[in-house]
Structure formats: C-alpha cells, structure tokens
Amino acid sequence: MTSVTSSMAQAQPKIDFSRLFTDAILATLVALGLFGLLIGVKTDQSLNNQMILVLRPGLLALILAAVFVGRLTIGYIIAVRDARPPEAKKAKAAKSNTALWVEKYGLPVFVGFLFAYPLMVLYTAGPQGAIKWIDNFGIQILIYIMLGWGLNIVVGLAGLLDLGYVAFYAVGAYSYALLATSEPVKLFMAAHMGSTFWPLWAFWICLPIAGILAAFWGVILGFPVLRLRGDYLAIVTLAFGEIIRLVLINWVEFSNGYAGISSIPRPSFFGVPFNASDTGFAARFGLEFTPIYRTIFLFYLILILALITAFVSARLRRLPVGRAWEALREDEIACRSLGINTVNTKLTAFAIGAMFGGFAGAFFAARQGFISPESFVFLESAQILAIVVLGGMGSLMGVVIASILLVGGVELLRELDALKVIFGPNFDPAQYRMLIFGLCMVLMMLWKPRGLISVREPSVFLKEKKSVSSDHVKEGHG
Amino acid sequence: MRSLHDPVLKVENLTMRFGGLVAVNDLSFSAGRGDITALIGPNGAGKTTVFNCITGFYKPTVGRIALRHGNLDFAQHIEALTDSDHGAYRGADGSLFLLERMPDFQISAKAHVARTFQNIRLFSGMTVLENLMVAQHNPLMTASNWTLGGLFGLAGFRRAENGAIEKAKYWLEKTKLIDRADDPAGDLPYGDQRRLEIARAMCTDPVLLCLDEPAAGLNPKESLELNTLLMSIREDHGTSLLLIEHDMSVVMQISDHVVVLDYGTKIADGTPEQVKSDPKVVAAYLGVPDDEVEAVEAEVGV
Ligand SMILES: Nc1ncnc2c1ncn2[C@@H]1O[C@H](COP(=O)(O)OP(=O)(O)OP(=O)(O)O)[C@@H](O)[C@H]1O
Ligand SMILES: [Mg+2]
C-alpha cells in the first residue's frame, strides 16, 4: 500500500500554482486591453437616429473569464507535461510505431470506406437527401484532401513553405474554364470533330493541359524563389498567389474579371452527358433521370484524382527524387556536397506539387460550372496549409484526418440545429471558420506540436521498418 | 614525394578574402595520389576555408585548383584548359578538372571530390541507410530514367536500387554501423555520426575525400578505429585523402604528407618528421615569437 502511495506521490508533478495564476491574470489584463473597447462598448443607433454607446459589461466579463480559465488550463497542461520525468517521455516515443500502423492500414480502410460511401448515403438518406451528403461532405472534403496531398509534396517533403498554393488551383481552374468556353476552340472542334464533340470531351482533354500549365507556373514561381529561405520564401509565395488573383480580377478581357466565367461544360461520363435527353446517362443505362448520378460520378472522379495524387507522391518518396526532397528539407548544404542539383530538385517539387493543384482546379471548375477570383483568395491557401501542418508534415493519412476535421467539421456545424437555438437563427458556422482554425491550431501546438501523425516512415529499410520520431525530423528552411 | 610526380590535386596561388580579412593567402600545395595529406594549423588558420574552396562552397578570390583522374599528363594539359573557358578536359587516359570553375554539386557529381563537415551535417530525420541512399542519388536518378522508369517500377531501376543497398551495407559493415541501419541518424552517438558521415561521403565513389576534423570529439579508442578505417579506405579503394586534424597523434601516425597553415599562409610542407621538427611550426602552435623558439623547443623536448 505504502509503495503505491509513494509512487503516486512521485508521479504527481510539482507545479508552481502562484506562477500559473499571475500568468493567467496577466493574460486577462491583455485581453481587457484588447477587448475592452472592441467588445465592451458598441455603437448603435437610437430611435431618433442618434449614435449612442451601448455598454456590454456582461459579454466582456464572459470573454475575460474564458481567457482566464483557458490560460490557466493551458499553463497547467504545459506544466504537467514538462514536469513528467524523462523516462515517461521515452516510453511514449517507443510506442510511436502505432502512428506508422495508422499510416499503413488506415489509408486502405479509409479508401474502402470512400468507395462505399455514396451507396451507403444513397441507401440511408434517399436520392434527395444524398446529394447534400455526397457533394458538401464527400466532394468538398476530397478536393481539400487532394490539395493537401499536393501541397504536402512541397511543404511536407521538400520543406519549402508555400503560402500561395491556391495560385496553382486557380491556374488549373481557369485553364479549363477558358479553354472549354473559348469560341475559337469551339469553332475549330466543331469544324473538325462534329458539333457535340467539344462540350462532351472538353474536360477530359483539358484536365492534363490544366495540370501541365499549373506545373509550368510552378516552375515560373520556383525560379525566383530558389535562393530564398524561411520567411522570405513564405512572403514571396504569398505575393505570387495574390498577383495571380489580382491579374484574374483586373485583366477583364482575358478572364472576365470579378464576373468570372460561367456555363463551363460539366464533365461527361466518357462521352455520355448527364442530362435528361435520350442520349444522356440515365437513358443509356435504362435509369430514371435524377441529378444524383452526376454527383456520384463527380465523387468518384475526385476520389480517383486524389488517389492518383496519393499514389504518385507515396511512390515518389521511395524514388531518388523523393529522397532528395527530404534530404533537402534536412540539410541543403549536405545535399550539395553529395552532388545533388538542388535547383532541379526544388523545381521538380514545385512543379509536381503545382500539377496536382492544377488537376484539382480543373475539377473544381467542372464541378461548379462557374468560377470567379473569389474562390482563390489567400484564405484557401491558408486552409490547405493548415491541413498539411495539422495533419503532420509529410504524412498522407494526417492530411486526410485534418481535412475531415477542418472542412467536414465546419460543414457539420452547419448541420447542428442545436447551435441555431443557442446563437440565434442567423448563425452560420462558416463565418467562424477562422475562429475554429485558430482554436484547432492552439490545441495542436499544445498537444501535438508536430501534427496529428508526427512520425516519419522511412523510405527504405534493411531489417525492420522503424518510425522516425519527429524530434529528429527537420521542418525545412522554408 | 608522390605529391610532386603523381598529384591528384594541385592548388596554386589560392587566395580567399572576406572583405578585408585574408583567410587564405597565396597558398600552393599538392596532394599525391593514394596519399593521406594532412592540412594542419592553429584555430582560424584558414583550413576549413581551403576545403570550402576545393569543394566549391566558396569561389576563391584568386587561384587555380586542379584535380586529375587517371594518368593524364598534368603539365601538358593544364595551361590549355586554363586558357579555354571550360571547367573540365576529358582525354583517353584521364580527365582534368578546374574546380574553381565548377558549381559545388558538380564537384561531387563529376570530379568526385567528397567531403565531411567540421560540424556534422547528417540528414538527422532520415535513417542511417537512407543517408547512404541519398549519397547515391546521381547514379540512382539515371537508373530511374529521371524518375519515369522508377515510377513504373522498371526492372532496371529495381536492380540499381538493390545494388545501392548492397553498397550501403558494405560501408555500414566497414564503419560498424550495420546494426543501426534502420535507426534515425540523429539518434546515433557522436562518434557513430562522424563515421556515418565518412560512410556517406564514400558512397559517392570519391577520388579525393576531404575530411574536416574527423577525430574531433572522439575518445582514444574511437580515434584508433578511425585511423584503421582511413588507412583501409586508402588501401582498398585507392581514394586519396585530404584531412584537417588537430589531433597530432592521428596526423603523425597516418599521414604521408603534412601542410601547415598559419594565418592563411603556408609555413611548412613535408613529411610528418620534417614538419614536426620545423621551428616555425612549433612557434605557430605554441604562439611564441621566432627568436624564442629554441628555448621553447628545449623546454618541450622536440
Ligand atoms: N564566410 C566567412 N565570412 C567571413 N569570414 C570568414 C568566413 N569563413 C571563414 N572566415 C574567417 O576566415 C578565417 C579562417 O577560418 P577557418 O574556418 O577557415 O579556420 P580553420 O582553420 O578551419 O579554424 P578551426 O581550426 O577553428 O576550424 C577565420 O578568421 C574566419 O573568421
Ligand atoms: Mg575549421
């Protein structure tokens, strides 16, 4: 009995509570300074159109209390973690092969689930309800998974921090939209291949072109940033993303500016359109026409595009070029001393990452039927980057989990009627996306600073595949 | 001496200035083929700077650094190559490279000069085996048809990759790291990391291996093992070695030829015996003016 209590007492770490309290009070004071005017006072209009000040002490007190309690909890968690004896930390590191296990078996299980998903939803929710679940959840999340896997090549493997990834998504989307709706191309195709050819096949022909153009722009971005590191690289890539968007807004003759491009042809089922006509998909296969078939088809299309991304990037990681990317992230100077052409290595990372962004963009344009520069704002880059960082840099399964959490989570909040009861009928969780991001990020930094799946799987092994703990893996200089 | 009639590396009038500081001042020396050449000197003498010039990390302010493969006649081709604007000459009996004209990665890839670093630079988040695979990047890249063949898993690439693993295994056994092959390089103890860096450099098939203080931080036993490893690299692989070393026991035991630098200037060049008894060297190391050298020598008993 005594031995048990003594070991319990030993496990109980020493925590300096007075320091925690002063820390929390300090944070509360900072919050008071910040929110005192922002939230504590509100300008409003009185009945006779005069501006009046409304004081909101209750709300202010609520927020300050939240900050106090939050800071105290965070401080406590950190103190407990730091006070843990080193052996406990070691024991935890030894168990980390489970993450390798998730990476190995999680993906096949998840893919199996995804293939069954549309049918499951169709069965449970019926054709009317299913569209929402397949489109808003399935397709939306899969687009971000694909973008995350594409950006993972640049950020996770090569360690080059790219804040402008959405630019390549835009290049892909506009490449498809502009080519598919361009009059000269339409006329040319009508003259040579017949009038129905282009609307049916435009997507399949433009998809590779969109990828190639995006890869080309990846190289264009890559060249000027080759010598940049860290913050500088991040800023230039951010600016690049904004420049592409501003060009799309301002070069009206080319891209139709803010108005965007509409009536983009939708993808066909390899030449069979999804419409109610006699030659449409439903009629051909003897089915009753409903729009659900197109949605299901789009779901499988993005699923396969995403899987190609995953397959290629997993495969590249085991090839010399992928190993060179990771080596570049670890130590660029050592790479050069081993005869690796770091210029080419960086450019291939940018180009291949951008190519998958371009594919995803073309799919996005085809799915929406309408695009405008609004869809390619910095927030999108930030969201994709958040997915990669949250998932654990370099991990494929991590990106999946993070996309489901960040994209699916927000969609799911929209579904919760209980929230509407609490926050009023106009509550739209999508507007609180940044708040949710922020909370996720703070929690992550506390709980798993290197991402959800923070171990690295070796690309080759001699006897036994052991996971590499994130303590050794570098984040790269970008 | 071999450095005179059969040199692998010839450094002539090398000067490296950083702003007003002259780190290397008009240095000329050669390293013989199959020799272990030691570059020694007090802290800040400019040794690492010489290495950085040879391996292309710095572009020398002035000077010529020539490297030879095979039996090609040095004197016959060097002037012609210097007058041309090429960086390399390839003849039937060997090749000649002007390293100061080549970018750093090509010095390793084409001229086959490998190096290690004073503060170890391993890929610490990759396993020991992966470190050695990265070193074989160029041949593997060719075998994978610049990634395309590898992506489709062609047999030629798989064969090349197995060959690369075999080579890595060979060097792991030689450096006694084979049991740690699947561990992250960052997990190894210091002495093992030093040996891994040498193994990694050897995986690039170097003609000249430059080691920057390989014995620094090793205990006497590890230091002795290092000597054996370096001797065997020279005997079994015909690689010439250029090493910077502070540990005089290592220098005296294994080197064939010693070059001494002080404040960027060469003060002695010869066999270990010649250098050891050179009063200038003793003065540089003990930091006394020349006229007091004899007194100091008598004191330390050389
Ligand atoms: N990149 C650089 N910029 C400016 N000065 C430099 C640079 N590299 C080296 N130096 C200077 O050149 C001189 C020689 O340095 P170097 O590192 O070559 O010495 P070293 O002989 O290797 O010394 P140690 O035995 O301490 O490694 C030093 O005074 C150093 O400060
Ligand atoms: Mg040095």
Tens digits of per-residue pLDDT, A7-48?
Answer: 444 455 577 888 889 999 999 999 999 888 888 888 888 888
pLDDT attached to residue A12: 54
Domain boundaries along the sequence of chain B: 2-112+206-300, 120-204
At the topology level of CATH, where does B2-112+206-300 sit?
Rossmann fold (3.40.50)
The one-character DSSP state at B60 is -
CB-CB contact of A304 with A356 (8 Å): no
| Cα(A38)–Cα(A17) distance, integer angstroms | 31
| Cα(B250)–Cα(A79) distance, integer angstroms | 48
* Amino acid at residue number A279: T
Nearest by CB to residue A321, choosing from B133, B147, B187, is B147
pLDDT attached to residue A29: 93
| Band of residue A239 on the pLDDT scale cut at 50, 70, 90 | very high
Which has the closest alpha carbon to A389: A403, A375, A408, A409?
A: A403
Tokens of B198: 């040498």
| Cα(A2)–Cα(A244) distance, integer angstroms | 70
pLDDT attached to residue A395: 85
pLDDT attached to residue A363: 96
Subunit contact A336:B104, Cβ cutoff 8 A: yes
| Band of residue A97 on the pLDDT scale cut at 50, 70, 90 | low
Closest C-alpha to ligand 1, atom 3: B18
pLDDT over 90 for what percent of chain B? 69
Q: Model confidence over B198-221: pLDDT tens digits?
A: 999 999 999 999 999 999 889 989
Q: Give the contacts of A152 (CB within 8 A, at least 6 positions apart).
A: A313, A353, A388, A391, A393, A394, A395, A396, A399
| Cα(A404)–Cα(A244) distance, integer angstroms | 28
pLDDT attached to residue B36: 95
Q: Which ligand is nearest to the CA of B45?
A: 1
pLDDT, greater one: A406 or A356: A356
Q: What is the DSSP string of B107-174?
A: HHHTS-EEE--SS----TTSBHHHHHHHHTHHHHHHHTTTTHHHHTT-HHHHHHHHHHHHHHHHHHHH
Residues 18-77 of chain B with CB under 8 A from chain A are 55, 57
Per-chain mean pLDDT for chain B: 90
Residue A284 has pLDDT above 50, yes or no: yes
pLDDT attached to residue B301: 54
**DSSP 3-state of A338:** coil
Do B2-112+206-300 and B120-204 show the same overall fold?
yes
pLDDT attached to residue B207: 95
Least confident of A71-80, A233-242, A382-391: A71-80
Note residues around ion ligand 2 (Cβ under 5 angstroms): B 48, 118
**C-beta B18 within 6 A of ligand 1:** yes
- Residues of chain A positioned with their CB less than 8 A from the CB of B114: 337-338
Per-chain mean pLDDT for chain A: 85
Residue B171 Cα to ligand 2 middle (Å)? 26
Least confident of A93-102, A456-465, B5-14, B127-136: A93-102
pLDDT attached to residue B13: 95
| Cα(A361)–Cα(A171) distance, integer angstroms | 7
Tokens of A179: 């080519």
* Amino acid at residue number A195: S
Which atom of ligand 1 is the closest one to the Cα of B246? 25
Which class for B235: exposed (0-12), middle (13-18), buried (19 or more C-beta within 10 A)?
exposed
pLDDT attached to residue A35: 87
CB-CB contact of B54 with B65 (8 Å): yes
Residue reference for tokens 């209980």: A418
pLDDT attached to residue A1: 40
Q: Give the contacts of A142 (CB within 8 A, at least 6 positions apart).
A: A114, A299, A302, A303, A306
Least confident of A198-207, A382-391, A438-447: A438-447
| Cα(B4)–Cα(A25) distance, integer angstroms | 76
pLDDT, greater one: B63 or A475: B63
| Band of residue A197 on the pLDDT scale cut at 50, 70, 90 | confident
Tokens of A420: 């509407």
pLDDT attached to residue B26: 94
Residue reference for tokens 């439903």: A282
Closest C-alpha to ligand 1, atom 18: B46
Residue B122 has pLDDT above 90, yes or no: yes
Record the pTM.
0.87
Which has the closest alpha carbon to B30: B60, B5, B59, B51?
A: B5
In the A/B pair of chains, how many CB contacts fall below 8 A? 139
Q: Model confidence over A303-333: pLDDT tens digits?
A: 999 999 999 999 999 999 999 999 999 999 9
Superfamily of chain region B120-204 = P-loop containing nucleotide triphosphate hydrolases (3.40.50.300)
pLDDT attached to residue A87: 62
